[in-house]
């Protein structure tokens, strides 16, 4: 007859394949930080995308208003002034987009700088630097 005690089989498999409690805690913390970082990245990307669409709408509305003003002008000077006003606003929006983009890159890459797998508690305790990797001591006479 075969053994049908699945809970005992599961415990046996866990002990064989799953990490010990200290490692398990480290993995749990790494997984939590990884998914928090993913959430932060997605939030930043969504904010950037929403901002991008808002700026595009502002730009198209400004262009439409400028076109209407230019069509209503009676002199070449008024036409040029209406165009310059629109161009100035467009340039200001481009500059604002650049700054916004820089801020979003910094915010997003900040989430990426945390390592996906942190050292275990045992690895963080004490100095485990290999002696051959340390710089040799210099004498004071040189």
Q: Is residue 131 scored above 50 in pLDDT?
A: no
The mean predicted confidence, pLDDT, of the chain is 77
Q: Is residue 135 scored above 80 in pLDDT?
A: no
- Rg of the chain over CA atoms, in angstroms? 31
**How far apart are alpha carbons 114 and 116 in whole angstroms?**
6
pLDDT at residue 121 in the model: 53
- Mean pLDDT within 26-47: 91
Q: How far, in Å, are 1, 5, 8, 15, 68 from residue 12 at the CA level?
A: 19, 11, 6, 5, 77
Rounded to 5°, the CA angle 20-25-26 comes to 100
93 versus 35: the higher-pLDDT residue is: 35
Prediction pTM value:
0.50
**pLDDT tens digits for 69-119?**
999 999 999 999 999 999 999 999 888 888 777 777 776 666 555 555 555
* Residue 76 and residue 2 in contact, taking contact as beta carbons nearer than 8 Å: no
Which residue has 């690895």 as its token pair?
123
Q: Is 26 exposed, middle or buried (0-12, 13-18, 19+ CB in 10 A)?
A: buried
9 versus 79: the higher-pLDDT residue is: 79
């Amino acid at each position: 007859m075969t053994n049908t005690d699945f809970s005992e089989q599961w415990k046996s498999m866990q002990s064989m394949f799953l990490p010990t409690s200290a490692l398990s805690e480290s993995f749990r913390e790494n997984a939590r930080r990884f998914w928090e970082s993913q959430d932060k990245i997605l939030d930043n990307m969504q904010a950037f995308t929403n901002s991008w669409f808002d700026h595009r709408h502002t730009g198209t509305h400004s262009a439409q208003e400028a076109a209407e003003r230019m069509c209503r002008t009676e002199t070449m000077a008024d036409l040029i002034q209406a165009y310059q006003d629109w161009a100035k606003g467009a340039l200001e929006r481009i500059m604002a987009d650049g700054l916004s983009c820089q801020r979003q890159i910094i915010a997003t890459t900040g989430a990426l700088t945390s390592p996906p797998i942190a050292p275990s508690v045992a690895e963080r305790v004490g100095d485990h630097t290999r002696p051959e990797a340390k710089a040799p001591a210099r004498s004071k006479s040189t």
